[in-house]
Amino acid sequence: MSDEKDVARLKEEAARRAVTYVEDGMIVGLGTGSTARFMIAALGERVKNEGLRIEAIATSEASDVQARELGIPMTDFAAHSVFDIGIDGADEVERGTLELVKGLGGALLREKIVASACRRFVVIVDESKLVDRLGTHAPLPVEVVPWGWERAARLLAETGAQAAKPRMVRDKLFVTDNSNLILDCHYPGIDDPAALSRAILAITGVVDHGLFLGMTSEVLVAGTGGVQRLVP
């Protein structure tokens, strides 16, 4: 089996475990990304095969489309301010603190809005996402309004980022579901995530960033030895 297939299998294992937490009557926040895709697929199976009765809210257009295609009933913030459980992937999980970097898929803003509305926020990852210090494996994505983004990029560099570059897709600026841009900020490790969060949010034009601090209820980490459950 190739490495890629191994990783996909681990992501699916973590995703399937998290879906066992979902019960009849729950309102569920659906994450975004390749691991969340497995989770939405598994949830769709339960809705179809077991008649599981839930409503869900998606953190991206892509997850929304997938969930609707699978027949998962969807809801929104017009109907609810609080959700029972949110299940989402991550790009980095710091061992010990379980603080996160998210947003490599560009969905960080809606993901953070939904995670902050969930009573329980379950993170599903394969073991390659565990790090000793945030910022060492993945850049920190920062969502900014398009107007004046160049200034925001320069000010982000002053927070210690070695580079704050607009994300590009096929030579074009990547645009989020919220019509904003993503600046990928490369830090040489993040020693004080809370201080960095404050510094980034103080920049006018920044909408939010991919540091998810104090939000994790638990992490399900799939590795070769099975799925491990980590709690803060």
Does residue 31 touch ligand R5P according to CB under 6 A?
A: yes
Q: Compare residues 54 and 107 and give the one whose CB is closer to ligand R5P.
A: 107
Q: Catalytic pick from 13, 92, 111, 143? A: 111
What are the E-state strand segments in the chain? Answer: 27-30, 55-58, 83-88, 92-94, 100-101, 118-126, 130-131, 140-144, 163-166, 168-169, 172-173, 181-186, 206-209, 211-212, 218-223, 226-230
102 is in an annotated binding site: yes
| CB-based contact 227:15 (threshold 8 Å) | no
Does residue 34 touch ligand R5P according to CB under 6 A?
A: yes
Does residue 29 touch ligand R5P according to CB under 6 A?
A: no
Enumerate residues 59-118 that contact ligand R5P by CB under 6 A: 88-91, 102-108, 111
Least distance (Å) between residue 20 CB and ligand R5P: 19
Indicate if 4 belongs to the active site.
Answer: no
Least distance (Å) between residue 7 CB and ligand R5P: 9
Catalytic site positions:
111
The footprint of ligand R5P (CB under 6 A) covers: 31-36, 88-91, 102-108, 111
